[in-house]
Amino acid sequence: MKKIEIYDPAMCCSTGVCGPSVDPKLTKISRQLSILESKGIHVERFNLSTETQAFVENELVSGYLQKEAELALPIAIVDGEVKKTKAYPTTEELAEWLEIEERFLTESKPVKSDSRFTILD
């Protein structure tokens, strides 16, 4: 089973819906990571403001932080290999790294018939 780890910069939460405005990059990666988990991919996500120890304990992440400080974040690691720094992975990159079809990451979430909300991309 593939494993992806995302090391986020310090922020109040990883959803992107906090603060004065919604951050579409955060909502997109949050949604995609949720989809990956539902497909059996092992996903771990760490926030610098609340899970500092995870950044210290991971030698790869710690090394990037020593060289580039917080400018290196976010960092995406797949199966122990740093795949991307300084930006969240694109849909295409996630699909390639995790060997899945892109459509799994772009399909709309099924909406229950009694739901009042629809998730938009």
pLDDT of residue 100: 92
* Residue 112 domain-assigned (yes or no): no
Task: State both tokens at 97.
Answer: 């790294």
pLDDT of residue 110: 44
* Residue 118 domain-assigned (yes or no): no
* Residue 111 domain-assigned (yes or no): no
First CA to last CA distance, the chain: 27
pLDDT of residue 92: 96
How many angstroms separate the CA atoms of 115 and 31, rounded? Answer: 18
* Residue 43 domain-assigned (yes or no): yes
Q: The domain containing residue 53 runs over which residues? A: 3-105
pLDDT of residue 107: 72
Within 13 Å and on the Cβ side, how many CA atoms surround 13?
9
pLDDT of residue 11: 83
- For the chain, 121 residues long, the average pLDDT of each consecutive 10-residue run is 94 70 85 92 95 97 97 97 97 95 77 44 49
* Residue 56 domain-assigned (yes or no): yes
Beta bridge partners of 46: 7
* Residue 57 domain-assigned (yes or no): yes
pLDDT of residue 1: 86
* Residue 121 domain-assigned (yes or no): no
pTM as predicted: 0.83
